[in-house]
């Protein structure tokens, strides 16, 4: 490997490992209206994200992929957090997550248990792992804009 591992508080480490071992919303999404995928070649992480949009809201999200625990747990938690949100709300959440990881901002209440990834901010090479799913989400949401809104 050779990539430094962030040290997490026990609570956060357990949460991340739990999502890695038992990913939520993993697999293909029936009736998906948007697909996007991305990779983090530095670590070998891959994430495919599918969303089903209804009336400008993300009714359901699912992901598939492979890679390190941080990338896969982040994508798993992403699918839980964006379900039920509008496109704008999901974009705002992705922005807040990036602000915490890249900008070093303290996590706001909207991030909820995503604050588990705050410790990753000190490891720029792992920030790419945690951000991968969220970058793919931004690509997916950009497609929604190009399609003119709702599906």
Q: Name the DSSP class of 3.
A: P
Question: Judged by CB, which is closer to Zn ion: 52, or 126?
Answer: 126
Task: Compute the C-alpha angle 70/76/82, nearest 5°.
Answer: 125
For the CB of residue 48, give the shortest distance to Zn ion in the complex, in Å: 15
Question: Judged by CB, which is closer to Zn ion: 20, or 50?
Answer: 20
Structure tokens at 41: 């070649």
For the CB of residue 106, give the shortest distance to Zn ion in the complex, in Å: 24
Chain residues that interact with Zn ion, rule: CB under 5 A = 43, 45, 68, 71, 129
For the CB of residue 71, give the shortest distance to Zn ion in the complex, in Å: 4
Residue appearing with tokens 């357990």: 14
Compute the distance between CA of residue 58 and CA of residue 33 in angstroms, rounded to an integer: 10
Contact 103/66 with Cβ under 8 angstroms? no
For the CB of residue 144, give the shortest distance to Zn ion in the complex, in Å: 27
Question: Judged by CB, which is closer to Zn ion: 71, or 79?
Answer: 71
Question: Judged by CB, which is closer to Zn ion: 20, or 87?
Answer: 20
Report the relative pairing of strands 45-54 and 34-40 from DSSP bridges.
antiparallel
């Amino acid at each position: 490997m050779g990539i430094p591992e962030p040290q997490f508080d026990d609570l956060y480490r357990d949460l991340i490992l739990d999502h890695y071992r038992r990913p939520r919303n993993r697999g293909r999404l029936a009736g998906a209206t948007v697909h996007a995928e991305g990779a983090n070649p530095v670590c070998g992480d891959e994430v495919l994200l599918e969303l089903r949009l209804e009336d400008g809201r993300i009714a359901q999200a699912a992901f598939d992929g492979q890679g390190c625990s941080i990338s896969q747990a982040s994508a798993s938690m992403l699918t839980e957090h964006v379900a039920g949100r509008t496109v704008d709300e999901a974009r705002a959440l992705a922005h807040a997550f990036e602000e915490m990881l890249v900008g070093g901002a303290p996590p706001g209440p909207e991030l909820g248990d995503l604050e588990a990834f705050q410790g990753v901010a000190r490891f720029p090479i792992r920030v790419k792992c945690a951000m991968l799913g969220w970058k793919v989400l931004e690509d997916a949401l950009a497609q929604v804009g190009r399609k003119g809104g709702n599906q």
